[in-house]
Structure 1
Amino acid sequence: MGRVNPLDSFSALLTDEGRALLAGLRDHDPAQELATATRLRREHPAELVSAALGQARLRQRAVAKFGAEDAYRMFFTPNGVEQSTRRTVAVHRAARLAELGVRSVADLCCGIGGDAIAYARAGIRVLAVDRDPLTAEVARANAEALGLADLIEVRCEDVTETDTTSYDAVFVDPARRGGRGRIFDPEAYSPPLSWAIEAARKAPHAALKIAPGIPHEAIPEDAAAEWISDGGDVKEAVLWFGTEPGAMRATLLPSGASLSTTAPLPDPPVRPVGRYLYEPDGAVIRAHLVAEVAAELDGGLIDETIAYVTADELRPTPYAAAYEITDELPFNLKKLKALLREREIGVLTVKKRGSAVEPEEIRRKVKLRGPNAATVLLTRVAGAPTMLIGRPAKPADG
């Protein structure tokens, strides 16, 4: 039996029969896939049924990134679901480009079109380029499915050969995964980061999507860097050109709170643990803006190597989660067990920073019983392994 051409399989999904089949699989239960496939193959070609079931699974996975309304109209590839930008992040970036006056953008390495969709919805004309024929076809189908085909032109070509001179901005999202998984060397990206930087410098404005773990010394002097978190999870970093060279920014979604500086503060002082402990958002930590948050809170660090800020007063900030600390103890599992038993703690949240002990190990070894809840933070205080016990702080606590 000959191998099925992926492009042919995808094209079949765009027919009336394919679309009807997909519509009927919206609430498909993957656990019943064998029975569903057997039933559908009585009325449809086996190859089409397989393609539709695969696409149904991808749409279900994509709901978390794109929302149900878009995900069930769009088309995906396995890599496209995995690597595409979360909608909230793409919308944020599109709004930023629109604020800069960008009316047209060349989206290089566009994937299945997640960013292109956000740009088009912000009123920006898009050239979306990807060298993989199937991926380009999926991006084209998505532009049509969402009614954006007039604003999104899709081309299948090598981005290094794309002429971007007529566009207000360039956006590059290099492939950061290879056959063996995630790629950490920026020069091993496809295309390499050095090429993307040169392409960015030729445009009035540019944004390059990079891994959040990029070393600060690898950031070009003429670029600004932004780390973006969504719901507390760091999603990506972006190098911006044509904006504010040297700026370091942390942006927190969905609130949109943004902290930025071109002149970083010196490291905060180390001081004893106060009544409150603040855990800065991951984007703040990646952007090296913990000192700025500490200054806002009139606080200091509990250890020179740990990104926990402590203060005596509770001050609201979007950039850190606050905990009221009731106990500070040297790390000792027996003492922790006894304290939890004495306080009748039945619900325990375990967090760690700078500790070799895994939260799962603590939960496994302590016996929880009672109506109360607590948080234990495993960390170091002035170099010593320490347990900080407390609870999430609320303004009424202050």
Structure 2
Amino acid sequence: MNKAILAEEVQSYINANLNSDVHRIAMARSPFSEVSSKELSGQIMAKKKSEKKLPTWFNQEQIYYPQLLSIEQCSSEKTADYKSTLISGGNLIDLTGGFGVDSFYFSKHADSVIHCELDPELSSIVAHNTGVLGVTNMRCEAVDGLKYLQDNIESFETIYVDPARRSTTGKVFMLKDCTPDVVTHLDLLLSKTQQLIIKTSPLLDISAGIKELKNVAEVRIISTKNECKELLFILKPGFIGEVAIVSVTLNKTIKEVSFTQHDTVATTFANAPLGQFLYEPDAALLKSGAFNQIAERYMLQKLDQHTQLYTADVVKPDFPGRIFFIDAVHTTQELKKEKSLQGNVIVRNYPEKPEILVKKFKIKPADSNFQIFTKTAKQGFIVISASILQHY
């Protein structure tokens, strides 16, 4: 950690060049004797990346930034803030601290936090930033988090761990293929805590994750703006029972929908004509796999067994997802007769891609109008012309 970067004139240079060509800065001669051009460009890139993802850090003076990869891999403030509400008091250890965003937010609800980070440079950066941000109940340890647990008799109300995939090739992976290996060390982890929170990539299959672990009480699926960001497996030592699957959307408001893993619900398919409104579930809700339960919970009718769209004659603002007003329903033959078609094209359980359909039907883009190509159980393939009422 080069403390010369924190000098007032260097910080002023970084702030003045946030929109400059960082490659040019990296190749040019540094205007500072104790700070290299590479360090300057690195600070600028990392700070720029933090502007929307980490506004608290971005707006705070004297923040020291790590390599860009650490910023790209860390939690956003929005997801970290939500996770912090899952704890209440007590002591917490973050075994895979990284840039410390999760630890920072946990410190707002925990009595004390230990931030473990194997990289001494990153650990010292987090320790500095923690002080700048005014956190007084967080301690940084430049150690392997699992080794810290093994070497100390201390136990914790909450253990938090974010295992990293050892290989990024392919979409399918198992928890045992991550570092640290929480599956192999599960007994150690559970013996040291009342609550173990394991964060994973949303690519992990939820059922497979539950099978690899034990004592899983909840799985929380976190999304923002219809993009699944992470899964949280919450384990309680000795817990035996149905696993709660909780879909969480973090947008202007927070919406949570909870099901148990083995809920079995029959559903009814929409008749013709459809209801006045069309419902498109958020990505977190779709990841839960509770397609029939969605219909039951919100008193909706599903369009088709394999079409994850729903309809009703009333608007339900608490629904986590988009809601459309159905302007018209066409067959594809009827649509060919329409002139000056406008709308964003959505495809759900339909055999052609959006870009093909745009050309085929000469559809021009429009902000609030949609042409939804889909399949219903009663009418087969149809096109729904709709206008947006509720965004994600």
Q: CA deviation at 1:119?
A: 0.9
Distance in 2 (alpha carbons) for counterparts of 1:371 and 1:66: 32
Q: Which moved more, 1:200-209 or 1:69-78?
A: 69-78
Judging changes above 3 Å, is the alpha-carbon distance between structure 1 residues 196 and 277 closer, same or farther for their aligned structure 2 residues?
farther
Alignment of 1:253-272 (within 5 A): 253-254=250-251, 255-262=253-260, 264-272=263-271
TM-score normalised by length of structure 1: 0.82
Superimposed CA distance per residue, residues 326-360 of structure 1 (whole angstroms, 9 cap, x where no aligned partner)? 3333446xx5464251xx63xx2222233353334
Instruction: In structure 1, give the amino acid aligned to 2:146.
Output: T
Q: Is the 1:271–1:300 Cα contact (8 Å) retained in structure 2? A: yes
- Cα 1:39–1:240 change in 2 (3 A) is same
Q: What is the TM-score with the length of structure 2 in the denominator?
A: 0.83
Alpha-carbon offset, residue 21 of structure 1? 1.1
* Contact 2:344 2:366 (8 Å CA) reproduced: no
Q: In structure 2, how many angstroms separate the alpha carbons of the residues matched to 1:212 and 1:146?
A: 30
The answer on whether the counterparts of 2:5 and 2:11 sit within 8 Å (CA) in structure 1 is no
Q: What's the CA shift for 1:57?
A: 0.9
Q: CA deviation at 1:112?
A: 1.0
Which residue in the other structure is 1:52 paired with?
40
Structure 2 residue aligned with 1:276: 277
Cα 1:208–1:380 shift into 2, 3 Å: same
- Which of 363, 373, 376 aligns to 1:378? It is 373
- Answer yes or no: is the 8 Å Cα contact 2:199–2:231 preserved in 1: yes
| Aligned-pair CA distance for 1:111 | 0.9
* Aligned twin of 2:325: 324
Structure 2, unaligned runs of 5 or more: none
Q: Distance in 1 between matches of 2:47 and 2:157?
A: 33
Superposition map of 1:69-88 within 5 A: 70=58, 73-88=63-78
Deviation at 1:155, TM superposition (A): 1.7
Determine the C-alpha separation between the residues in 2 that align with 1:304 and 1:136.
50
Aligned pairs for 1:61-76 within 5 A: 61-67=49-55, 70=58, 73-76=63-66
Aligned: 1:392 with 2:378:
no
What residue is the counterpart of 1:188 in the other structure?
177
Alpha-carbon contact 2:22-2:44 (below 8 Å) kept? no
- In structure 2, the partner of 1:113 is 100
> 1:20 aligned to 2:4?
no
Give the Cα–Cα distance (whole angstroms) in 2 for the partners of residues 182 and 157 of structure 1: 30
Q: Is the 8 A contact 2:298 2:319 kept in 1?
A: no
2:298 — aligned with what? 297
**Cα distance in structure 2, aligned partners of 1:196 and 1:71:** 39
Aligned to 2:198: 208
Instruction: Assess if the C-alpha contact under 8 Å between 2:92 and 2:110 holds in 1.
Output: no
**Is the contact made by 2:107 and 2:113 (CA closer than 8 Å) also made in structure 1?**
yes
CA distance in 1, matches of 2:257, 2:371: 28
Secondary structure of the structure 1 residue equivalent to 2:279: strand
CA distance in 1, matches of 2:67, 2:27: 24
- Shift in CA distance, 45/338, structure 1 to aligned 2, threshold 3 Å: farther
1:239-271 deviations in Å (ceiling 9; x for gaps): 112388511111121422211133624142222
Contact 1:113 1:139 in 2 (8 A): yes
Match of 2:246 in 1: 249
Quote the Cα distance in structure 1 between the aligned partners of 2:128 and 2:84.
21
Q: Distance in 2 between matches of 1:311 and 1:67?
A: 40
1:146 to 2:146 alignment:
no
Q: Which runs of 5+ in 1 are unaligned?
A: 1-10
Alignment coverage as a number of residue pairs: 372
Contact kept, 8 Å, 1:18 with 1:48, in 2: the verdict is no
**Distance change in 2, residues 1:329/1:369 (3 Å):** closer
Separation in structure 2 between the aligned mates of residue 31 and residue 361 of structure 1, nearest angstrom = 39
Query: Structure 1 171/245 Cα, relative in aligned 2: closer, same or farther at 3 Å?
Result: farther
